[in-house]
Chains A and B, each alone.
Chain A
Amino acid sequence: MPGKVPVVLDVDTGIDDALALLYACASPELELLAVTCIGGNVDARQVAENTRAVLELAGRKDVPVVLGRERPLVKRLETSTETHGPRGLGYAELSPASRPIEPDDAADRIIAVARERPGEVLLVTLGPLTNLAVALEREPTLPRLLGGYVLMGGVFGAPGNTTPTSEWNIHVDPHAAKQVFARWAMPGEQTTALPLAMGLDVTERARFLPEQLRHLAVRAGALPLDAAAAGTEPVRAIGSVAANPMLRFLVDALRFYFEFHAKYDGFYGAFIHDPFAVAAAIDRSLVRTQPTFVDVEIGSGLGHAMTVGDFRGLLRRPPNVDVAREADADRFMDRFIDRVGGFAARAPGAAR
């Protein structure tokens, strides 16, 4: 359909990646060309499983799912089953995907779609930057071929969530992140649009609470009770009994995420980082940004995997990243509830 923005999502699904996939599927502005997979929250093969299962839940069997590199460029792969559950989708159980993974490689797919529609394709990365780093090595002009690039990653001027100085996506593959940012800092790339970085410091403003899940359930056409299995505090509950399969998935996945956040972040609810990045990619008015020189620390000290933004211009280097400094989390949250709830209402098997 003309007027839609062609988009590739690079994911490490992951609970909030699943929410971002649903948000993307629910967004009329986007034409989802492909979803590429990278190890992070869980290993890359499990990511590909989860991603296909979520897309099938969303009725999008047509979207190609492409596997990427199965380990970081330099480090060993770390995963975070503590955050996302043993298989990455919390307590949710989805039917296994019915179709195979695409035969090609994620980095090659990103290059191919960008070449096919030069200057049009929006890339959004929600996991470690390994696939993009590989793609940039194979096609150094990729920044000019893409229509835009948005990442959820890093943390700017705030504490990390993996170490005191680092955010998870960057921590898993800091070398890839360093190489990605370096490409936009090359002298030849100064005229291309800068990547938009949605760091933790802004995505953590999007706190999704049980109350919001109930709003979403109502928007999905369900009774508020259907969302009640998510509870209001960390107690082991039974699985959701919602009739709507998408709502059932959301409740069971989010309950795990809520419990994790209750344990580590002091509130029963969850930061929904990834869909916020997708929402900002669609609508830049959700964020206020500052073009900044950004680099990544790869040394092994306390600052390992820290994203360093030179907000005062002390290094006198041209900006290579447009860093989100402020974000309208309330507006995003309303939109998330409206879009994903509305999408669930239209989902196959939604009729009560």
Chain B
Amino acid sequence: MRVTIDVGTGDGRAVLATAARDPSTLVLGIDASAAAMAVASRRAAGPARKGGLENARFVLAAAEAVPADLAGRADLVTVLFPWGSLLRGCVGRDEAVARGLIALVAPSGALELMLAPADRDGLGGMPTTTHSIVEATAPAFDAEGFQLVVAREATPAEVAATGSSWARRLGATRSTGAHGVNDANRRVATLIRLARR
């Protein structure tokens, strides 16, 4: 069975959405907050007629301290719309978090990041354009044996398909401005996929 691990899953909706879409994949959500995952976790463990999903499970752990049992188990690790230390880990500014993410990825696995920081978040010098996000992320993971295989602005459909509630809340689903010119208030979702060499 393929394994996808969603790190920093929050309310776990993205896990439920992925698990429902692909019954042949075991989807694990990891978050440091049990409270956030409680509803989704209970729903997944419940009966199928009430939205139960045998292939969706949740694990309480911080990204920088993932359980050793999960090391090297994920064919795909996803990080969707992270903030705080998880976001810093994705852009090469928190080594412990980055190491945690990398540890989960199987030898021929991949890491997929959907990042949408914006200037108005007041993140203090965090890269907020697709260009600067990719520039920060690629070398951080390259040094760990990951190569960039996809880097571009995510489409609104892709953002919606993540099932993440953050996507909507962050307003990242708005479509690209005319001619792709970034206006200052538009939040851009950047899709990055890195594969082990």
Q: Which residue numbers of A lie inside 8 Å of B, CB to CB?
A: 71, 73-77, 136-137, 140, 175, 178-179, 182-183, 185-188, 298-300, 317
Contacts and interface: CB of A to CB of B under 8 A. Distances in A.
B152 A175 contact: yes
B130 interface: yes
A66 B29 CA distance: 42
Contacts of B134: 74, 175, 298
Contact of B180 (A71, A185, A300, A317): A71
B149 A182 contact: yes
A182 B130 CA distance: 19
A136 B150 CA distance: 9
Contact of A74 (B108, B152, B195, B197): B152
B33 interface: no
B175 to A, nearest CB: 14
B108 A187 contact: yes
Interface residues of B, number: 20
A298 B135 contact: yes
B151 interface: yes
Given A175-B152, A185-B197, A75 B139 contact: no
Interface in B169-197: 179-181, 195, 197
A263 to B, nearest CB: 30
B148 A182 contact: yes
Given A71-B180, A299-B139, A179 B130 contact: no
A136 to B, nearest CB: 8
Contacts of B108: 187-188
Contacts of B151: 73-74, 175, 178-179
B147 interface: yes
B137 to A, nearest CB: 10
17 contacts: A71-B179, A73-B151, A74-B131, A74-B151, A74-B152, A74-B153, A76-B180, A178-B138, A179-B149, A182-B147, A182-B149, A186-B149, A188-B108, A298-B148, A300-B131, A300-B135, A317-B197
